[in-house]
Amino acid sequence: MNLLRFAPVLLALLLGGGLARAAEPASWLAQLLSPELRRMEQRREEILWDLSKLGAPMGGQTAEQFGYQHPRLDAPPLNPAWVQVDLRSAQTIDWIALIPAQLDWQTFDRPAYGFPKRFRIDISDDADFIVFTTVADFTESDFPDPLVAPVSVPVGGRQARYVRVTVTKFALENGQYFFALAELMVLSGNRNVAISRPASVSGRYELLPRWSQQNLVDDRTPLGPPIRKELLPYDGLFTDVPADGTEPVMQVDLGKTVELQEVRLHPVHARIGADVPGWAFPRSFRVEASADANFTTPVVLFRTDDFPNPGNNPVTFQVSGAARAVRVVFLAPGTSQPAARYGLSELEVYAGGVNVARQGTVVATPDNSAMSKAWPRALLVDGFTSYGKLVELPEWLGTSMRRSELQAELSALAERRGPVVEQGLTRGFRLLGFLTVGISVGAVVFAYRVRQRRRRDIEALRLRLARDLHDEIGSNLASLAVTGELAAETAAADQREDWREVQRVSRESMEAMREVLWVLGAREEAGIDLAARLQRTAQRMLARQEIHWLAAPESPPATWSVEARREIFLFFKETLANVVRHSRARRVELRAQIVRGEYVLSVSDDGVGFDPAHAREGVGLKSLRERARDLRGDLTIQSKPGGGTIVSLRALG
C-alpha cells in the first residue's frame, strides 16, 4: 500500500485543521471504515442516475408577467391571506399545482421568491368558502423551499368550481412579510382548466405587468412549456407576409370533425444563431375554426390586437364548438422579429382531453419564408417545441415532483455526509496519525536518497567509461590513422591502396567512437545536426548497399531533448544493423522528416524479408519497440518473405 496517499489526511489532523478539510481526499478511506457512508454513497449514485434520466429542468423568466405578489407588510398579518380561482362551473379536478415565482435575474437552481411558509389548499362550490373541502394542509410546519419545482397536490377526481390557497405564514425578506406565486394550476385530465379564469385575492397588489392577480392564471411561468429537454435541428415553422398584402396563415386540418376544448400556440424560442424567447410571435392575430378544411365559413375563436410577447410560454385558449380545421391568421408582427415574418413552434388542438392536431395536415400560406422553406410543414404538429418534446401536464408535474424529491434527498445526504466522514476518520486514524506520517516521511527520504545514489553511481560509471574510451582507444585510432596516411605516401605503389584503407577504417572507427561518446553523454551537444549524423551513419554502415534518401533528411524539432535525439539515433543504427545482418538487400530507401508535428523515420529494403507473425523477437526488435515507447511513438514493421522489409517510426519526442 502506498502510504503517501494518507499524507493529506494526516497532515490536516496534525495541523489542527480538523477532518473537514481532509474529508474529500480521504472519503474513500472513510467509506472503508463506515458501512453507513458506503450506503450513502451508493444511494447518492442512484439518485444522480435517476436525475440524469429525468433530464434537466427548464428554468428562467422569459416573459414580463411574474405572477401574483401579496403586499409587503412590516409585521405578520393578523388574519390569513388567500388567493382563489373561479373555474366558472364545477370541474373534475385531478391535480392542483402551485408554481413558485422566480425573478428575472434568477436561474432554476436559486431559492423560490416569496413562496409561502405555511398554507392550505381548499376546494368548494361556494365562492365564500363557507362550506369547503381541504385537499392539502401544510400549516403544521414550514414548507421546504421548492426552488422552481411545482408543488403538486393530487385531488383524486373531486368536483368543485372554486379553488383557494390560504396562506397562514408569510415569507420573510429584508424585514418584510409577503408571499408570491407564479401560477395556480388546476388540472382536469391533460388540461389546465384554470387558464384565464377569474382570479381573486384577499390583498390586492397590482404592479403591471409583473405582478397582478390575473397573472395567477395566465399560463406564464418560469418553467415554460411542459417539455422534456430534447433538441431537433429546427426552431419552428415560419411564414412571411406576401407582397400582395394578404394575411399569412398557418392551419391544421384535423381530418375529422371534433368538439373543441382548447387551442395552444407555442412560440418559437430562437436558438439557431440567437437566443430570443417568443421570436416572431405576432402582436395581433386571430384564431379561427371551420367545419371544412377550406374555411368556407370560419368562426373566430379568439382575436387580439395587442398581445404581449409570451416568451417561452404556451398561449392557451379555452374554446368550444365543433370543427374540422383550426388556423391562426397573423395580423401584425411583434417587436422581437423582422416586420414581415411570423413563427410558431407548435400548434395543439385538444378535443376529448387529447391533442388531436398530431394526426393533422399542416398548411402555411404563403409558403415562402426563407427561414423554414425547406423544412417539413409537419413541424407545426410534430410534438416538439424549440427546446424539447412536449409531454402532457400530469406527466410533466409527476416528473417535476420526482426531480424535486430526488434533489431534496440529495441535499439531505450532502448534509449528513460531513459528520459521517468525520466520525469514520476519527475512529481509524486519530491514534495512527503520527506513526503513519513518520513512516511516510521516512519512506520518501529513503527512496529519494537511494535514487540519488544510484543516479550518481551510473553517472560516474558512464563518464569513466567514456574517458577510458577517449583516452585509450581514441588515441590509438588517431595514431593508426596518421600512420596509415604517412605510410600511404612512402609505400610502394602496390601497397598504397592498402594503407589508405587502413587510414579510412581508422577514421570511420574514430567517428563511430564519437557517436558512442555522444550516446553515453560524454559529449553534450544539444544542438547537434542529427540529420547530418544520420547521413554519415548510413554511408558508413551501408557501404555495400545502394542508399536512396526519399527526401533531404531533417533533424527533430528544436524543442526535443538531447535524450530524445539519442533515442532516434540509436533506433536508426539498430534498424540499419538489422538490414546489414539479415536482409541481404541491394537497395535501401531512407526517410527522416517532420510530418504534421511528428518525426517520421523509415527504413525500407529490397531484401529477403520475413514473416513478422512467426518471427522470433530477439534483442533487436525488442530494443526498437522500447525506444519507440520512450519516444511516445508508434513502430510499424511490414515484411513478407521475398518482399523486403519496411520499418517505420512516428514519434512525438
Look at 15 and 602; give whichever has higher pLDDT.
602
Predicted local confidence at residue 236, as pLDDT: 85
The per-residue DSSP string of 32-44 comes to HH-HHHHHHHHHH
Predicted local confidence at residue 3, as pLDDT: 41
Is residue 438 pLDDT above 60, yes or no? yes
In this prediction, residues 298-322 reach a mean pLDDT of 94
In this prediction, residues 582-603 reach a mean pLDDT of 91
In this prediction, residues 217-234 reach a mean pLDDT of 88
In this prediction, residues 306-317 reach a mean pLDDT of 92
Residue in the structure block whose three cell numbers are 583516452: 471
The per-residue DSSP string of 566-578 comes to HHHHHHHHHHHHH
Percent of the chain with pLDDT over 70: 80
Predicted local confidence at residue 249, as pLDDT: 93
In terms of average pLDDT, the best of 407-411, 418-422, 430-434 is 407-411
| Relative orientation angle of helices 530-541 and 562-578, to the nearest 10 degrees | 20
Between the two ends of the chain, the Cα-to-Cα distance in Å is 33
pLDDT confidence tier of residue 108, bands split at 50, 70 and 90: low
Is residue 365 pLDDT above 50, yes or no? yes
Predicted local confidence at residue 8, as pLDDT: 42
Look at 545 and 232; give whichever has higher pLDDT.
545
Question: What phi and psi values does residue 175 have, to the nearest 5 degrees?
Answer: 75, 10
In terms of average pLDDT, the best of 94-108, 227-241, 296-310, 434-448 is 296-310
Alpha carbon 578 to its chain's center: 50
Predicted local confidence at residue 19, as pLDDT: 41
Look at 581 and 547; give whichever has higher pLDDT.
547
User: Which letter does DSSP use for residue 599 in this model?
Assistant: E
Exposure pattern of 159-172 as b/e (b: 16+ CB <10 Å)? ebbbbbbbbbbbbe
Predicted local confidence at residue 70, as pLDDT: 96
HSE on the CB side for 525, CA within 13 Å? 13
Helix (H, G, I), strand (E, B) or coil at 195: coil
Is residue 371 pLDDT above 70, yes or no? yes
* Measured distance CA(103)–CA(564) in Å, rounded: 61
* Measured distance CA(30)–CA(419) in Å, rounded: 11
In this prediction, residues 160-177 reach a mean pLDDT of 96
Residue 39 CB contacts under 8 Å (≥ 6 apart), including other chains = none
* Measured distance CA(629)–CA(650) in Å, rounded: 10
Is residue 576 pLDDT above 90, yes or no? no
pLDDT confidence tier of residue 433, bands split at 50, 70 and 90: low
pLDDT confidence tier of residue 526, bands split at 50, 70 and 90: very low
pLDDT confidence tier of residue 468, bands split at 50, 70 and 90: low
Predicted local confidence at residue 640, as pLDDT: 84
In this prediction, residues 175-193 reach a mean pLDDT of 97
- Let me know how long the chain is: 653
Is residue 16 pLDDT above 50, yes or no? no
Percent of the chain with pLDDT over 90: 44
Question: pLDDT by residue (tens digit) across 604-629?
Answer: 999 998 887 776 766 678 888 888 89
pLDDT confidence tier of residue 570, bands split at 50, 70 and 90: confident
Look at 456 and 152; give whichever has higher pLDDT.
152
* Measured distance CA(104)–CA(61) in Å, rounded: 5
Residue in the structure block whose three cell numbers are 600512420: 483
* Measured distance CA(73)–CA(641) in Å, rounded: 96
Please say whether the dihedral angle defined by the alpha carbons of residues 163, 151, 186 and 58, taken in this order, is positive or negative. Answer: positive
Question: pLDDT by residue (tens digit) across 119-161?
Answer: 999 999 999 999 999 999 999 999 999 888 899 999 999 999 9
Predicted local confidence at residue 307, as pLDDT: 93
In this prediction, residues 101-124 reach a mean pLDDT of 84
Radius of gyration of the chain (CA): 42
- How many other CB atoms are there within 10 angstroms of residue 536's CB atom? 14
Check if the beta carbon of residue 67 is closer than 8 Å to that of residue 180.
Answer: yes
pLDDT confidence tier of residue 500, bands split at 50, 70 and 90: low
Return the ∠ at Cα 8 (arms to 4 and 10), rounded to 5°.
90
Check if the beta carbon of residue 219 is closer than 8 Å to that of residue 314.
Answer: yes
Question: pLDDT by residue (tens digit) across 260-283?
Answer: 999 999 999 887 666 788 888 999
Predicted local confidence at residue 27, as pLDDT: 65
Look at 481 and 587; give whichever has higher pLDDT.
587
Is residue 170 pLDDT above 90, yes or no? yes
Helix (H, G, I), strand (E, B) or coil at 152: strand
In this prediction, residues 364-369 reach a mean pLDDT of 78
Q: What sections of 469-553 are H helices per DSSP?
A: 475-490, 493-520, 530-541
Residue 164 CB contacts under 8 Å (≥ 6 apart), including other chains = 82, 83, 84, 121, 122, 123, 124, 129, 132
Question: pLDDT by residue (tens digit) across 58-93?
Answer: 777 888 999 999 999 999 999 999 999 999 999 999
List the grid coordinates of 369: 419564408
Look at 131 and 483; give whichever has higher pLDDT.
131
* Measured distance CA(29)–CA(9) in Å, rounded: 10
- Average pLDDT in the chain: 83
